[in-house]
């Protein structure tokens, strides 16, 4: 995803550089919009990668492989890393999923926590909307489609 989105930013940058004139914003406004979209679209996948890589899903000690004698007062812990007995936490799950997903018996497709939905809606979906706006502005696709539409409608 990161490679695809940043290659799209390069495409928009070169397209704007070759076809536009004026101030920096007039030339590269679509590039900035597409760059912002690339950053927003990549927030959720990178965050999920970090959660999975560092085992950042907080659950009941018994489900996380933490011995009862090392279990913190909250009764919850992250899964232990090699050589560690406990990594205490105070809430269940993580920003995307609740603690029922920490055991690996359920496969998460969509977030179940409200914070995860906010990240998905505003970052991922908002990023894709900005991507379409930036590409349309850079390629003048909306102008080309309107011209074609007028040509089709006027031909009757």
Residue 110 CA: distances (Å) to CA of 29, 75, 106: 33, 27, 12
d(CA 9, CA 38): 7
Q: Poorest-confidence range of 7-21, 44-58, 100-114, 131-145? A: 100-114
Average pLDDT of the segment spanning 111-130: 95
Average pLDDT of the segment spanning 123-131: 97
pLDDT band at 104; cut points 50, 70, 90: confident
Task: Give residue 155's pLDDT.
Answer: 59
Q: Is the pLDDT of residue 156 over 60?
A: no
* 49-80 confidence digits (pLDDT tens): 999 899 899 998 888 888 888 888 888 888 88
Where are the chain's structural domains? Answer: 2-54+101-154, 58-92
Per cent of the chain over pLDDT 90 is: 59
Task: Give residue 137's pLDDT.
Answer: 94
The answer to whether 102 and 89 have CB atoms below 8 angstroms apart is no
Average pLDDT of the segment spanning 119-128: 96
Q: Which helix (H) or strand (E) holds 87?
A: strand 87-88
Residue 40 CA: distances (Å) to CA of 23, 47, 53, 54, 127: 25, 11, 21, 22, 5
């Amino acid at each position: 995803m990161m490679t695809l989105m940043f290659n799209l930013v390069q495409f928009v940058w070169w397209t704007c550089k070759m076809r536009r004139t004026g101030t920096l914003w007039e030339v590269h406004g679509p590039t900035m919009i597409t760059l912002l979209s690339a950053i927003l679209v990549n927030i959720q996948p990178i965050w999920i990668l970090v959660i999975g890589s560092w085992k950042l899903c907080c659950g009941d000690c018994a489900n996380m492989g933490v011995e009862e004698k090392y279990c913190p007062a909250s009764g919850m812990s992250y899964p232990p890393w090699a050589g560690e007995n406990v990594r205490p936490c105070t809430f269940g799950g993580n920003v995307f999923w609740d603690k029922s997903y920490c055991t690996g018996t359920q496969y998460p497709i969509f977030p179940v926590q409200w914070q995860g939905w906010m990240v998905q809606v505003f970052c991922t979906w908002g990023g894709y909307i900005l991507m379409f706006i930036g590409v349309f502005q850079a390629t003048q696709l909306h102008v080309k489609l309107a011209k074609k539409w007028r040509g089709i409608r006027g031909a009757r």
